Amino acid sequence: PNEYSFSAMEAKWPAVWEELGVFKAVDDGSKERRYVLDMFPYPSGDLHMGHAEAFAMGDVVARYLRLKGYDVLHPIGWDSFGLPAENAAIKRNAHPSEWTYANIETQAASFKRYAISADWSRRLHTSDADYYRWTQWLFLRFYERGLAYRKNSPVNWCPKDLTVLANEQVVNGACERCGTPVTKKSLNQWYFKITEYADRLLDDMDELKGHWPERVLAMQRNWIGRSEGAHVNFKIEPADGRDAKDVTVFTTRPDTLHGATFFVVAADAHLALDLVTPEQHDALMDYREKVKALSDIERQSTDREKTGVFLGRYAINPLNGEKLPVWAADYVLADYGTGAIMAVPAHDQRDLDFAKTFDLPVRAVLDTGEEDPAVSGTATTGEGSLINSGELNGLSKEEGIAKAIDIVEAAGTGEKTVNYRLRDWLLSRQRFWGAPIPIIHCAECGEVPVPDNQLPVRLPEDLRGEALSPKGTSPLAAAADWVNVDCPNCGRAATRDTDTMDTFVDSSWYYLRFASPDYTEGPFDVEAVNKWLPVGQYVGGVEHAILHLLYSRFFTKVLKDLGLVDFDEPFSSLLNQGQVLNGGKAMSKSLGNGVDLGEQLDKFGVDAIRLTMIFASPPEDDVDWADVSPSGSAKFLARAWRLGQDVTSPVGADPADGDRALRSVTHRTIADAAELLDNHKFNVVIARLMELVNATRKAIDSGVGGADPAVREATEAVAIVLSLFAPYTAEDLWAALGHEPSVAAASWPAVDEQLLVQATVTAVVQVQGKVRDRLEVAPDISEEELKAKALASEQVVKTLDGRSVRTVIVRAPKLVNIVPA
Ligand code: ANZ
Ligand code: ZN
């Protein structure tokens, strides 16, 4: 064949790869193991441009490590529970599994066409009963340790999807999925106690530094939000038929206790109702109605007018006995700290804004050298020394914090504490297409875990269409046959829990299942997992920073405590690919700027699209499809492929006899490519590969010729490096060079260090046009370096004999002319 045809290649190679099983993990201990994983896809329709980018990157790493001689685990599966399937089923009067598995088949075919070097024998789907059986099993292990529990509390509620959401699924006050503003609803829900792992989730990030993008670590750190401070008790004076009451606040600034001028409780906290006097009761109730409609983000925004209601009570400052009016306000959140604060308007801007609105006093207690906040309207938060603070006067902020804590601790009115922003993970969902929570509710025995040997608790197969539409309670509640069971404990009539698990539970452990996907004795074979994991290279989007990535870290730590894994962190190295944009904007239906992956593949071929994705930018940066040139990529691929047509030396020809200049380029390319790949500079590898193709073509067309074994060596290197990015073209090229059976079974070429030694060129140094010296320099020497070398030459110094230099003309690397003054 001497026409480059991507369709012919795409028709040929997938069957060869499958037959050879070249992408299967060997798993016999003969080679060192490496685990490369892309975040598994959700089966909504066919693959899109984002998948094409991320999976191309993961595949570069997997293919490279395989060529380097590692036993590579590069599996694929589907995160196949979730709402879209359910919504589609309601619309089409179908079962969610129909839509789900049809889409999975479509995506699987596309992945195969896209030549992802996956080990298909390990494929899994989280909606398969033999997967979710183990999701349920894990839930029960968490439950036994007190890490899964039910409680009644106000939760995030999406009024459109009619289901609860985890804090992590509320984005700017709206449902992560549908964008509807989230409201609060009091419900009895299941939680995972992720807060118990807050410190370990923070501390173990040290291990990830340098291997995970710093912004992901920062987002997690922020989300966990560890604050050191103190709990301080305030007595609320009795009033108007209401008794005295102790209320604790959380403060990070106990040094400012003398600056507290009022006291605020969250308007929506029960505490506000406990405190309010009868005459203020109606005002509070009205206010609470208004607060209900606000998101936490709105409530904490600094540019909203402050609102609140005086509760008719006074709190006593434990440090100086002052009486502080007690208010209810929305800017204090019910579920952070204790839901109550001491307000220090001089040093906290929100308190200051509130004080201004309601004409409350402002008293600075830390002199920072800035203008008095009461005058400037700007709270001061810097360093300084304490004033107006009795025995704390003169201390720095830090000293003041320590001393204030000592004082309240000694008086028994407070203590040092650590507070977290992180909340427990709300995992129950009132929807159908998820893993049922394996708990039975019995009037006699309470919550009873489904015995392990009765797992999986399967989803009923006859619920379809309208029966799945959201009602605010789980559709499973309507399946009487399914709900009504005998209590496993006492045998009396009991009912199943009708909620299903958040799909993030499914994805928190799938990477473990891949080590032994058919294991039937547990969620995974402990030995296999400890051999393969942690995942050496994980690839996926930054949108999972505080969701999937945090949850998976939590799961891994619990599994470590259960003795099931021997590591603390699931993903040793993380690569966040950028987004694929079109015209500088994310692709979206509303903008009409979507690019269809299938059409691109039909038009340019798989290899050209893969190459374009990787060549466009460094992996972490966005790719703007409006700026790339798949046809340029296709031309380069054809050019590389044609080299194979011109190599006439036999397989095994000794390159030692070949053209030394070309050999140098080849070996430098291989050496640099390895280093660049180790540092994820995939786009630069392609640029270097293009140079090698050019050098090889030049050698063939100039005197060296296609019979020179150095040309074969160069072309073989092209095929091998190209196989990371454009596997079809690389296979064809490899075959044209007379190799069998697949470039995927080749090895990364060895580098001959001697060929890396750079040749030098001679630079002539003149003074006033007369040759005074000759220097041996690198061919790529910079002008500055050459100039410096020339001026330092002994001959030149002698010739100048103290005269100063007027100009230096530099033509690197060959000539320098120095003109004295
Ligand atoms: C007095 C004070 C003085 C405060 C000062 C700050 C500065 P982080 O760092 O985010 O943990 N706070 C406590 N509970 C709150 C709640 N439920 N809603 C809103 N604000 C709350 O913030 C801790 C600080 O935020 C606490 O320290 C408290 O105000 C406020 F110059 O106490 B501080
Ligand atoms: Zn019972």
The answer to whether residues 310 and 280 touch, using CB atoms and an 8 Å cutoff, is: yes
Query: Residue 759: what pLDDT?
Result: 67
Percent of the chain topping pLDDT 70:
100
Q: Which of 251, 338, 386 to mutate to test the pocket of ligand 1 (most atoms within 8 A of CB)?
A: 251
Q: Which atom of ligand 1 is nearest to the CA of 346?
A: 31
Q: Which atom of ligand 1 is nearest to the CA of 252?
A: 27
The answer to whether residues 80 and 126 touch, using CB atoms and an 8 Å cutoff, is: yes
- Measured in Å, residue 106 CA sits from the centre of ligand 1 at 52
pLDDT > 70? residue 306: yes
Distances (CA, A) of 276 to 240, 245, 322, 337, 765: 10, 12, 20, 21, 92
The answer to whether residues 42 and 433 touch, using CB atoms and an 8 Å cutoff, is: no
pLDDT digit string, tens, across residues 269-305? 999 999 999 999 999 999 999 998 787 777 877 778 9
pLDDT > 60? residue 1: no
Average pLDDT of the segment spanning 436-442:
98
The answer to whether residues 200 and 557 touch, using CB atoms and an 8 Å cutoff, is: yes
Nearest ligand atom owner, CA of 441:
2
- Measured in Å, residue 443 CA sits from the centre of ligand 2 at 6
- Measured in Å, residue 485 CA sits from the centre of ligand 2 at 10
Torsion of Cα atoms, 397 then 403 then 405 then 407, to 10°: -140
Locate 254 and state its tokens: 């106990």
Residues at the annotated binding site for ATP?
589
Residues 761 and 781: their CA atoms lie apart, in Å, by: 10
Partnered with residue 620 across adjacent β-strands are none
Query: Residue 630: what pLDDT?
Result: 97
- Measured in Å, residue 445 CA sits from the centre of ligand 2 at 4
Strand order in the sheet with 623-624: 585-586, 580-582, 623-624
State the Cα angle at 490 between 488 and 496, rounded to 5°: 45
CB atoms within 10 A of CB 215: 12
pLDDT digit string, tens, across residues 88-141? 999 999 999 999 999 999 999 999 999 999 999 999 999 999 999 999 999 999
Residue with CA nearest ligand 1 atom 2: 253
Locate 262 and state its tokens: 């009022």
Residue with CA nearest ligand 1 atom 14: 337
Locate 649 and state its tokens: 């030396």
Name, in order, each residue with C-beta under 8 angstroms of 53's C-beta and a sequence gap of 6 or more: 577, 578, 580, 613, 623
Percent of the chain topping pLDDT 90:
87
Residue with CA nearest ligand 1 atom 19: 332
Please tell me whether the overall predicted TM-score, pTM, comes out greater than 0.90 for this model: no
How do strand 580-582 and strand 623-624 relate by DSSP bridges?
Answer: parallel
User: Which residue, 502, 580, 513, is CA-closest to 548?
Assistant: 502
Average pLDDT of the segment spanning 56-65:
98
Residue with CA nearest ligand 1 atom 7: 348
State the Cα angle at 431 between 129 and 562, rounded to 5°: 50
> What SS3 class is residue 789?
helix
Residues 642 and 650: their CA atoms lie apart, in Å, by: 17
pLDDT > 90? residue 164: no
> What SS3 class is residue 764?
strand
> What SS3 class is residue 815?
strand
513 or 153: whose pLDDT is higher? Answer: 513
The answer to whether residues 511 and 487 touch, using CB atoms and an 8 Å cutoff, is: no
- Measured in Å, residue 252 CA sits from the centre of ligand 1 at 6
Residues 593 and 316: their CA atoms lie apart, in Å, by: 61
Residue with CA nearest ligand 1 atom 8: 227
- Measured in Å, residue 494 CA sits from the centre of ligand 2 at 7
> What SS3 class is residue 191?
strand
The answer to whether residues 243 and 605 touch, using CB atoms and an 8 Å cutoff, is: no
The answer to whether residues 323 and 237 touch, using CB atoms and an 8 Å cutoff, is: yes
Average pLDDT of the segment spanning 582-599:
92
Residues 228 and 397: their CA atoms lie apart, in Å, by: 14
pLDDT > 60? residue 445: yes
> What SS3 class is residue 811?
strand
Q: Which of 257, 265, 270, 341 to mutate to test the pocket of ligand 1 (most atoms within 8 A of CB)?
A: 341
Number of H helices, E strands in the chain: 28, 34
Residues 216 and 539: their CA atoms lie apart, in Å, by: 13
Residue with CA nearest ligand 1 atom 18: 332
pLDDT digit string, tens, across residues 780-818? 889 999 999 999 999 999 999 999 999 999 999 999 999
- Measured in Å, residue 478 CA sits from the centre of ligand 2 at 22
Predicted confidence band at 185 (pLDDT cuts at 50, 70, 90)? confident
Nearest ligand atom owner, CA of 443:
2
328 or 152: whose pLDDT is higher? Answer: 328
E strand or H helix that includes residue 818: strand 815-820
Nearest ligand atom owner, CA of 232:
1
E strand or H helix that includes residue 685: helix 682-701
pLDDT digit string, tens, across residues 645-674? 999 999 999 999 899 999 999 999 999 999
Residue with CA nearest ligand 1 atom 33: 251
> What SS3 class is residue 445?
coil
Q: Which residues line ligand 1 (CB under 6 A)?
A: 227, 250-253, 256, 266, 332-333, 336-337, 339, 341-342, 344, 347-348, 419
Residue with CA nearest ligand 1 atom 31: 347
Locate 303 and state its tokens: 């540019």
CB atoms within 10 A of CB 180: 13
Q: How far apart are the two ends of the chain, measured CA to CA in Å? A: 67
Locate 498 and state its tokens: 């009708």
Locate 796 and state its tokens: 């030149």
pLDDT digit string, tens, across residues 316-327? 999 999 999 999
Residue 659, CB-side half-sphere exposure with 13 Å CA sphere: 21
Residues 149 and 427: their CA atoms lie apart, in Å, by: 10
Residue 396 identity: S
Nearest ligand atom owner, CA of 448:
2
Query: Residue 371: what pLDDT?
Result: 95
Residue with CA nearest ligand 1 atom 22: 252
Cis check: omega of the bond before 570, within 30 degrees of 0: no
Nearest ligand atom owner, CA of 442:
2
Residues at the annotated binding site?
589
pLDDT digit string, tens, across residues 393-413? 999 999 999 999 999 999 999
Burial classification of residue 441, based on how many CB atoms lie within 10 Å of its CB (0-12 exposed, 13-18 middle, 19 or more buried): middle
- Measured in Å, residue 229 CA sits from the centre of ligand 1 at 9
Q: Which atom of ligand 1 is nearest to the CA of 419?
A: 11
Residues 264 and 330: their CA atoms lie apart, in Å, by: 9
Helices of type H across 94-148: 96-113, 129-144
Average pLDDT for the chain? 95
E strand or H helix that includes residue 407: helix 397-411
Long-range contacts of 484-488 (CB under 8 A, 24+ apart): 485/440, 487/440, 487/442, 487/444, 487/445, 487/448, 488/440, 488/448, 488/449, 488/450, 488/451, 488/454
pLDDT > 60? residue 26: yes
Tokens 């959380």 belong to 250
Distances (CA, A) of 476 to 181, 761, 810: 26, 80, 81
- Measured in Å, residue 426 CA sits from the centre of ligand 1 at 25
pLDDT digit string, tens, across residues 745-772? 999 999 999 998 876 788 999 999 999 9
State the Cα angle at 745 between 743 and 746, rounded to 5°: 65
As a residue count, the chain comes to 821
- Measured in Å, residue 347 CA sits from the centre of ligand 1 at 11
Name, in order, each residue with C-beta under 8 angstroms of 210's C-beta and a sequence gap of 6 or more: none
Average pLDDT of the segment spanning 331-358:
96
pLDDT digit string, tens, across residues 605-650? 999 999 999 999 999 999 999 999 999 999 999 999 999 999 999 9
Partnered with residue 796 across adjacent β-strands are none
Query: Residue 473: what pLDDT?
Result: 83
Locate 335 and state its tokens: 């579920």
Query: Residue 327: what pLDDT?
Result: 98
Q: Which atom of ligand 1 is nearest to the CA of 344?
A: 3
Cis check: omega of the bond before 475, within 30 degrees of 0: no
Q: Which atom of ligand 1 is nearest to the CA of 335?
A: 17
Name, in order, each residue with C-beta under 8 angstroms of 315's C-beta and a sequence gap of 6 or more: 234, 235, 236, 237, 247, 263, 323, 324, 326, 342
Q: Which of 223, 250, 264, 342 to mutate to test the pocket of ligand 1 (most atoms within 8 A of CB)?
A: 250
Residues 385 and 78: their CA atoms lie apart, in Å, by: 59
State the Cα angle at 183 between 181 and 185, rounded to 5°: 160
Nearest ligand atom owner, CA of 317:
1
Nearest ligand atom owner, CA of 485:
2
Residues 135 and 508: their CA atoms lie apart, in Å, by: 9
- Measured in Å, residue 151 CA sits from the centre of ligand 2 at 20
Average pLDDT of the segment spanning 47-60:
97
Residue 9 gets which letter from DSSP?
Answer: H
> What SS3 class is residue 98?
helix
pLDDT digit string, tens, across residues 484-504? 999 999 999 999 999 999 999
Locate 371 and state its tokens: 């203008």
pLDDT > 60? residue 71: yes
Q: Which atom of ligand 1 is nearest to the CA of 339?
A: 17
As a 3-state breakdown, the chain gives helix, strand, coil percent values, each rounded to 5, of 40, 20, 35
- Measured in Å, residue 493 CA sits from the centre of ligand 2 at 8
Give per-residue burial for 342-364: e unless 16+ CB within 10 Å, then b: bbbbbbbebbbbbbeeeebebbb
Distances (CA, A) of 348 to 300, 616, 655, 778: 13, 47, 74, 62
Predicted confidence band at 170 (pLDDT cuts at 50, 70, 90)? confident
Give per-residue burial for 379-407: e unless 16+ CB within 10 Å, then b: bbbeebbbeebeebeebebeebbebbbeb
Q: Which of 261, 263, 336 to mutate to test the pocket of ligand 1 (most atoms within 8 A of CB)?
A: 336
